[in-house]
Amino acid sequence: MPNTITLPKGFTTALDEVYQAAACTSDLTCDPALVKAGANAGEILYPQISVSGLGDYDRNTGYTSGAIDLKWKTAQCNYDRGTKIMVDAMDDQESEKLAFAMGGAELMRTKVAPEGDAFTFAVIAATEGISKMEGETFNSAANFLEALITAKSKMDNDEVPAENRFLYVTSDLLNWVMGLDTTKSREILATFAKKIVVPQGRFYTAIDMLDGKTPGEELGHYKKAETAKDINFMIIHKPAVMKYDKHVAKDIIPASSNADADGDILKYRKYGLVDVYKNKTAGIYMCTK
C-alpha cells in the first residue's frame, strides 16, 4: 500500500491526529514466568492445577491420601500480526520530520492497541463455558445496575475470588450508573478492582482479521464479524485469562541501512496467545446486546 504524504506549503500546521484510546486489555497480560516454550514451533505451555478434597480422619489409620494434579497445557499461539512502513528520506525531511516520527505513534495508538483489545475480547467471548447474559437492551441505569448485581451474584456463587475482578464496559452504561450517585451504585462499582471503559468498536463477540494483501483488505486491521454481537460489559477475573506476548518486535531501520531504498523503515510485529483457563471459565461473565 503506497504512502500518501502531503507536504506543507511553507507554513506550520498543528498535527491532526485521530482521537483514539490506548490499549484497554494490557492489565490482563500475564507474568512471563508462568509460561514455557513448547516442543514444537508456535507452542507454549502454561500450568493448570487441581487438588483432591478432604476425607474423614480416622483415629487408627490417620489421614486419607490426597493428590495434586498439575498439568502443563499445550496451546498454539493464535495471534501473529505485523506491518512494515517505509518513508522516503526526502518525504520525511520535507514534511518537517512528522511523517516517520508521528506515523509510528499513530500506528501504535490507532491500529495496534485497538486490534489487540478487539482480538482479546473476541477470543474470550468465544470460549465455551463462560457465564453469559444475552440479548440485553438497557433502557435505564437501574436496569444496567440490576444486570451488574446479577453478574456479581453469579460469580460470587461460583466462588470466583472478589480480588482482581475487572469490569470492562461501554462508556454509555458506566456513565449511566455513575450518574445515579446512589449508595447502591457506588457499592457495586466499588466491588471491582478496576473499571475500564471500552470503545464499542473494540467490543464484539467476533471479529474478522484483514490480511493486508487481498483485494478489499489492503489496509489491514480488523472489522466486526457478520455474526458478531456488540458486548455491553464483560467482567474478567484476571487469573482466568492467559494473555501472553511471546514476541514483540519494534524495529527502526534508518535509511542509511536500507539496501533497497533511501527511506527509513518501521517494522512492528506481535506474536502471542490469548486463552482462558478451562477450569476458570466461571471467572468470565459477558453481557451482549
- Whether 238 maps to a domain, the answer reads yes
- Whether 284 maps to a domain, the answer reads yes
- Whether 42 maps to a domain, the answer reads no
SS (HEC) of 227-285: CCCEEEEEEEEHHHEEEEEEEEEEEEECHHHCCCCCEEEEEEEEEEEEEECHHHHHHEE
In single-letter form, the type of residue at position 32 comes to P
- Whether 38 maps to a domain, the answer reads no
Q: What is the pTM of this model?
A: 0.85
Burial of 202 (0-12, 13-18, 19+ CB in 10 A): buried
Domain count, the chain: 1
Range of the domain at 157: 78-288
- Whether 142 maps to a domain, the answer reads yes
- Whether 242 maps to a domain, the answer reads yes
Sheet containing strand 43-51, strands side by side: 36-37, 43-51, 68-76
The per-residue pLDDT string of the chain (289 residues; one tens digit each, 9 = 90 and over) reads 565 544 444 433 444 455 567 899 999 998 888 887 776 777 888 888 888 889 898 898 988 898 888 888 888 999 999 998 888 878 767 565 666 677 777 888 889 999 999 999 999 999 999 999 999 999 888 899 999 999 999 999 999 999 999 999 999 999 888 877 677 788 889 999 999 999 999 999 999 999 999 999 989 999 999 999 999 999 999 999 999 999 888 888 888 888 888 888 888 899 999 999 999 999 999 999 9
Closest CA to 14 of 96, 92, 90, 87: 96
Cell for 210? Answer: 484483514
- Whether 27 maps to a domain, the answer reads no
In the chain, % helix, strand, coil (3-state, to 5) comes to 30, 30, 35
- Whether 176 maps to a domain, the answer reads yes
